[in-house]
A and B are shown apart, each in its own frame.
Chain A
Amino acid sequence: MSEKKQLNPLQFNDTSDLEISSLLEAIYQKYGYDFRQYSEAHIRRRIMNRMSMSGLKDVSQIQSMVLKDETFASQLLQDLSITVTEMFRDSGFYKSLRDHVIPILKTYPFIKIWHAGCATGEEAYSMAIIMQEEGLYDRTTIYATDFNQQALNKAKEGIFSNKMIKEYTINYQLSGGKESLSSYYTSNYGNVIMNQSLKKNIVWANHNLVTDSVFAEVHLILCRNVLIYFDKDLQNKVQKLFYNSLINGGILCLGSKEGLRFTDFYEEYKDVDKKQKIFKKKYQLAYALEG
């Protein structure tokens, strides 16, 4: 065994558990953003990163800063929200969406899609590209929502760094893209600007999955890699929101490591593509009998 080591004073011990939950409570009370049911390990990691970047010595100091300093608070909010995303992330998923979900959507006279937790919008634009290529975009509305207004503003602008474009192009091609990805943007000084024609049917809206309720009835919900950040109870609550937002026979798409098994809604969907986590809401009995 190694000899006893001096504990680093920057390190958190068990009292920091209390400090973190008290900080999350304070953020909720003052700003209305609710991280109390997020994955604790994730929240802890983000808070500790902020602490060391801002040269603060403990979580209590963060708390007093958050309450006094709105600029700091907004920075911490950015730290705690998930803004990492890619165009056509998981190409296999988008391939399956084209193969299995588009034929279902084609049967509707108009199509409403809810992209929940869209962050900076890369996947909402991906969806718009697919709908355009499938000849459905003119009768489609994509509601792309997030609680992070800063991310939404960026999404609305549709200007992305071209650093990732090579990766996105590979994703797009693997996902069964029919054109060249470069036909959907113009390059400008290290950035790419998404085409105006993709933006026309995307409605960007501030919506918080944790604290807000149903706002539309939709045919397709995409919420990928958001629920992994939530604890089981919160996952279940959000699944209820999704269930109530989908039409009968509506499609739910989750992230490749997410599922319904530990929620109350496992029996309410059937698999469209088990591996790619695409589910179809079962018809409620009354409708089934009528239909």
Chain B
Amino acid sequence: MSYEAIVIGVSSGGMKAMKIMFSLLPKGFKTPIIIVQHISAHSDSQWIQLLNGTYTIDIKEADEKEKIENGKVYFAPPNYHLLIEKNKTFSLTIDEPVNYARPSIDVLFESAAEMYKNKLIEIILTGSNSDGTNGIKRIQEWGGLAIVQDPKTAEAAYMPTSAMAAIKPDYILSLEDILKLLIKLDKQKQ
């Protein structure tokens, strides 16, 4: 099985988790990674530029109509929902917040599930609300691979715990072990 994309939902404690994750991602990692991180509507994109300058992998904010490419990490922009179209491009919307969040993890996950079906890996990381729980259900229904950060190892356990109450994840792992798994799966990609 070769996966076409990885979607990640992360909330409080996310900045630290992202830094650990990017530091462990090897050069040449192919599978595109698409991330919703809950962030203030007023924040600008400088933190993304900062991350991009720090790590080897190409990290950017998703643009509307942008084609999703291998070897890239995309963040949903603050104050917009991020969706994926059938032609593997991004759409942005300003629809009302979902689970009090815009961008919302559920919105990304649900549209990604429809697009990538069983070729999708989704990951719920640290966070203190239940955004992402509906999305992860949808992804499992479509046969995607569901990974949840072990709540014991998460800075905020609520979000992974909420996901685990709704589905039986394929894997429950620490962040470091999630990365090991992703690297292994990425090697199977052509």
Contact = CB atoms under 8 A, between A and B. Distances in A.
Interface of A: 1-2, 4-5, 7-8, 11-12, 17, 39-42, 44-45, 82, 84-85, 91, 174, 225, 228-229, 232, 255, 257-258, 262
B91 A2 contact: no
Interface string B107-125: 1001100110000000000
Q: By DSSP majority rule, is chain A's interface helix, strand, loop, or mixed?
A: loop
Interface string B126-160: 00000000000010111101100000000000000
Contacts of B143: 2, 4-5
Given A2-B170, A232-B65, A257 B111 contact: no
Nearest to B141: A8
Nearest to B138: A11
A174 B63 CA distance: 25
B85 A41 contact: yes
A39 B91 contact: yes
B169 to A, nearest CB: 9
Contacts of A174: 42
B92 interface: yes
Given A2-B170, A257-B64, A42 B91 contact: yes
Contacts of A42: 83, 91, 93, 95
Contacts of A258: 64
B140 A41 contact: no
Contacts, number: 72
Given A1-B170, A2-B145, A5-B141, A41 B94 contact: no
Given A41-B114, A257-B77, 13 more contacts: A1-B1, A2-B146, A4-B143, A39-B83, A41-B84, A41-B86, A41-B111, A42-B83, A45-B107, A229-B93, A257-B63, A257-B64, A257-B92
Give the bracket for the number of chain B residues in contact with chain A. 20 to 34
B177 interface: no
B83 A262 contact: no
Contacts of A44: 111, 114
A40 B94 CA distance: 15
Interface centre among B42, B77, B138 (most CB of A within 10 A): B42
A40 B145 contact: no
B80 interface: yes
A151 B99 CA distance: 24
A2 to B, nearest CB: 5
A2 B80 CA distance: 32
Interface in B1-30: 1
B96 interface: yes
A214 to B, nearest CB: 25
- The 8 closest A-B CB pairs, nearest first, are A41-B83, A39-B91, A225-B94, A41-B111, A2-B170, A228-B92, A228-B64, A41-B85
B135 to A, nearest CB: 12
